Copies of this chain bind each other. A is one copy, B any other.
Amino acid sequence: MINVRYEEAVKAMERGLLRYLPEEKARRFAEIFAGNSRDGVHSHGMNRYPRYLSDMESGLCDPNVTEAERVSGVGALEVWDAHFGVGPLIAEQMASRAIELAREHGVACIALRNNSHWLRAGRYGLMMADAGMAGICFTNTCMNLTAYGAKQNSVGNNPVTLAIPRKKGSLVLDMAVSQYAYGKLEIMAQQGKKLDSPVGYDTHGELTCDPAEIVKSGLMLPMAQWKGSALSIMLDLMASTLSLGRTALQIGTPAEGEKGMSQTFICINPAAVIDMDKADAQIEETLAFLNGLTADGKSAGVHAPGENLASVRERSMREGIPVTEETWAKILKAGE
């Protein structure tokens, strides 16, 4: 791993993106990749840059489309079509639109269809929370998990984010409906670790706690078995119904290339109806309680999601963003 300064990372990625995007859009997309890594979300940051370039090259993502088109709307509910454009730029546009509508109506919902991968779900919740709003956003994905009860990839890991404004720094949960990412299982397999729960199948179709076997079979369950499976099905059908966009089934398997996701952006403006100072005091009371719990000896204590974001971000800006040599080399090469 090496540490790269944020500005240097942005400039390097902007160079590669200029082949596909106008200057302003290239700059913003580079800031998104770098910003996600800066915030510690390394799984959906700079490491995804080479893949996104090749998706724009192959046409899986259309770089000519950087803004979604409004299809229909009534009051605070709108449907937009991304036309397979640049996922994170369009998702930011939708989050901004949801904030704007929530300012007017108290609450808003944007249903988006045909978007490309939006990278980090939490980014869009965070945008809302940083604007003083509560956010609930979710996307469907290709079928990359086995529905509970079947040994075949048949549901998505459908990341969902919940975000809450807080004076000391917004709280944000960003989670896929799987217990682990495959990348994490690979690392655990290399370390010879076993899981404490059977989160997938081995190559003989038996549930297993061996991460190496799950990586081999490519058959991972949703988190919490039947619960995560049910949640995944509902998030998929809700996102695709509201936008009349593709379902996980229509997006297909990972091998087909993940194209045209359905995404939902719900934004709520509590400042319009409650005393935010009092709400903030309640949040701090709960956080102080959670932080003060006696840790179980294995973890670093209990924290609310996103509670440490400000310090992670600050460290990245001070010491640079940690990135693998391999990724950094690819980024530099793409900018040549």
Residues of A within 8 A of B (CB): 71-79, 102, 104-109, 111, 134, 136, 147-152, 154, 162, 164, 171, 173, 175, 179, 196-198, 205, 207, 223-225, 227-231, 233-238, 240-244, 247-250, 266, 268-270, 272-275, 278-279, 282-283, 285-286, 289-290, 293-296, 298-302, 304-305
Contacts and interface: CB of A to CB of B under 8 A. Distances in A.
B147 A293 contact: yes
Q: Which applies to chain A's interface (DSSP): helix, strand, loop or mixed?
A: mixed
Contact of A302 (B154, B227, B236): B154
A196 B196 contact: no
A193 B21 CA distance: 59
Given A77-B268, A196-B197, A283-B237, A149 B298 contact: yes
B243 A274 contact: yes
B175 A231 contact: yes
A77 B149 contact: no
Contacts of A241: 134, 164, 270, 274, 279, 282-283
Contacts of A289: 154, 249
Given A162-B238, A224-B227, 7 more contacts: A77-B268, A107-B109, A148-B299, A164-B234, A237-B283, A244-B274, A247-B286
A286 B77 contact: no
A227 B238 contact: no
B233 A290 contact: yes
- Tallying the copies of this chain within the complex gives 2
Contacts of A149: 293, 295-296, 298-302
User: Which 9 pairs across A and B sit closest by C-beta, in order of nearness?
Assistant: A77-B106, A197-B197, A149-B299, A223-B224, A75-B105, A150-B293, A74-B272, A75-B106, A107-B109
B106 A109 contact: yes
B234 A223 contact: no
A168 to B, nearest CB: 13
A233 B197 contact: no
27 contacts: A72-B273, A74-B269, A77-B269, A77-B270, A79-B274, A111-B274, A134-B241, A149-B295, A149-B298, A149-B301, A150-B295, A154-B302, A162-B231, A162-B234, A164-B241, A171-B237, A173-B230, A196-B207, A230-B304, A234-B304, A236-B286, A237-B286, A241-B270, A242-B270, A244-B274, A244-B279, A244-B282
A280 B298 CA distance: 47
A165 to B, nearest CB: 8
A76 B107 contact: yes
Nearest to A278: B244
A249 B304 CA distance: 14
Contact of A234 (B74, B171, B198): B171
A43 to B, nearest CB: 15
A111 B273 CA distance: 10
Contacts of A268: 77, 109, 242
A235 B162 contact: yes
A96 B13 CA distance: 50
Nearest to A305: B230
A150 B294 contact: yes
Nearest to A163: B234
A138 B261 CA distance: 26
